[in-house]
């Protein structure tokens, strides 16, 4: 297993957000966290990275315990994060946003500026634009590109399909497929079941901070009870 999360409990102040969440992601797969707004998908990703450390439980990544490590240490072990609001550095240009991630990563690999621009040709026109001037869609591409520049083993991808037009979603499916082909493992959180079915092999269904179901995407897709209870708005 590349990533094993076992029974983590995460709190924001005194509110208990994640309750004994357990999940596993094996090397080379794309797995999904499914569930409605506010069920703890983002918190799960943040807990893994160390931004919202769990109070109890264990997180093992590539055989090492990473629960309790600060985010920068987890990042250097090969975990990259793309938040749902992208968090592009507003004061840096597109190129600088990419390059800074490469410079801060101790890891070598196939990803560099040229490869990222091949994946997102649009970004090459924007190389000197500051982050603050990019559109939402451009920021999303740059967020994924910045994550790749660190040559991570695992990417935590929050709400990739949110707010995108159908045509753009189709393009995103293709891009994620290309990233996957290069051997990068992805754990993504998304509400869009159709999108997840196209991209992911397995999924975990969350509700009220707990995992209600885990299994193959086709299994989830075919289970009307789960869809009605936990996924359909």
Partner 1 sequence: MQSIVHVCLAGLSSGMFIWLVASGLTLIFGVLGVLNFAHGSFYMLGAYFSYTVLRHLFPNFWLGLLLGPLCVCAVGFVVERFFLRYVYRLALPYQLLLTFAFVLIFDNLVKIVWGAGSLTPPDIGFLAGSVPILGRKFPVYNLFIIGVGPLVAVALWLALERTWAGRIVRAASSDREMASAIGVRVPALYTGVFVFGIWLGALGGGLAVPYVGLLTPGMGETIIIEAFIVAVIGGLGSLKGAFLAALVLGVLSSFGTRYFPAFDMFLTFILMAAVLLVRPQGLFGDAR
Q: Does 62 bind partner 1 (CB under 8 A)?
A: no
Which tokens hold the place of 161? 């399909």
Rounded Cα distance between 9 and 40, Å, is 11
Give the binding range for partner 1 (CB under 8 A) out of 8-16, 75-83, 133-141, 169-177. Answer: 75-83
Q: Does 136 bind partner 1 (CB under 8 A)?
A: no
Q: Which CB sits closer to partner 1, 62 or 71?
A: 71
Point out which residues pair with 34 in neighbouring strands: 205
Q: Does 76 bind partner 1 (CB under 8 A)?
A: yes
Are 67 and 106 contacting, i.e. CB atoms less than 8 angstroms apart?
no
Are 21 and 187 contacting, i.e. CB atoms less than 8 angstroms apart?
no
Give the binding range for partner 1 (CB under 8 A) out of 61-69, 74-82, 121-129, 221-229. Answer: 74-82
Q: Does 49 bind partner 1 (CB under 8 A)?
A: yes
Residue 181 CB burial class (10 angstroms; 0-12, 13-18, ≥19)? exposed
Give the binding range for partner 1 (CB under 8 A) out of 66-74, 163-171, 179-187, 209-217. Answer: 66-74
How many residues are present in the chain? 233
Q: Which CB sits closer to partner 1, 55 or 229?
A: 55
Are 59 and 4 contacting, i.e. CB atoms less than 8 angstroms apart?
yes
Rounded Cα distance between 145 and 158, Å, is 14
Q: Does 83 bind partner 1 (CB under 8 A)?
A: yes
Which tokens hold the place of 176? 């994620």
**DSSP-based three-state secondary structure for 37:** coil
CB of 33 to partner 1, least distance (A): 18
User: Please, which of residues 89-118 interact with partner 1 by CB under 8 A?
Assistant: 89-92, 96, 100-101, 103-106
Q: Which CB sits closer to partner 1, 46 or 202?
A: 46
Are 131 and 95 contacting, i.e. CB atoms less than 8 angstroms apart?
no
Q: Does 229 bind partner 1 (CB under 8 A)?
A: no
CB of 219 to partner 1, least distance (A): 32
Q: Does 166 bind partner 1 (CB under 8 A)?
A: no
Helix (H) or strand (E) holding 209: none
Binding site for partner 1 (CB under 8 A): 49, 51, 70-72, 75-76, 80-81, 83, 87, 89-92, 96, 100-101, 103-106, 146, 150
């Amino acid at each position: 297993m590349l990533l094993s999360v076992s029974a983590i409990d995460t709190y924001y102040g005194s509110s208990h957000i994640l309750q004994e969440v357990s999940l596993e992601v094996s090397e080379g797969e794309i797995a999904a966290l499914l569930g409605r707004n506010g069920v703890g998908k983002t918190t799960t990703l943040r807990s893994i990275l160390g931004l919202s450390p769990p109070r109890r439980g264990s997180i093992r990544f590539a055989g090492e315990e990473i629960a309790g490590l600060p985010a920068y240490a987890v990042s250097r072990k090969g975990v990259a994060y793309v938040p749902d609001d992208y968090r592009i550095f507003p004061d840096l240009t597109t190129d600088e946003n990419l390059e800074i991630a490469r410079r801060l990563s101790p890891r070598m690999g196939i990803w560099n500026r040229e490869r990222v621009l091949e994946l997102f040709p649009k970004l090459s026109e924007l190389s000197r634009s500051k982050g603050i001037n990019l559109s939402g869609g451009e920021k999303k591409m740059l967020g994924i590109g910045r994550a790749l520049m660190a040559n991570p083993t695992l990417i935590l991808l929050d709400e990739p399909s949110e707010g995108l037009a159908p045509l753009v979603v189709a393009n995103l499916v293709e891009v994620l497929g290309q990233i996957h082909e290069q051997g990068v493992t992805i754990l993504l959180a998304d509400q869009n079941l159709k999108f997840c079915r196209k991209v992911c092999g397995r999924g975990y269904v969350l509700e009220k901070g707990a995992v209600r179901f885990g299994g193959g995407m086709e299994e989830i897709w075919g289970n009307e009870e789960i869809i009605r209870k936990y996924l359909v708005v």
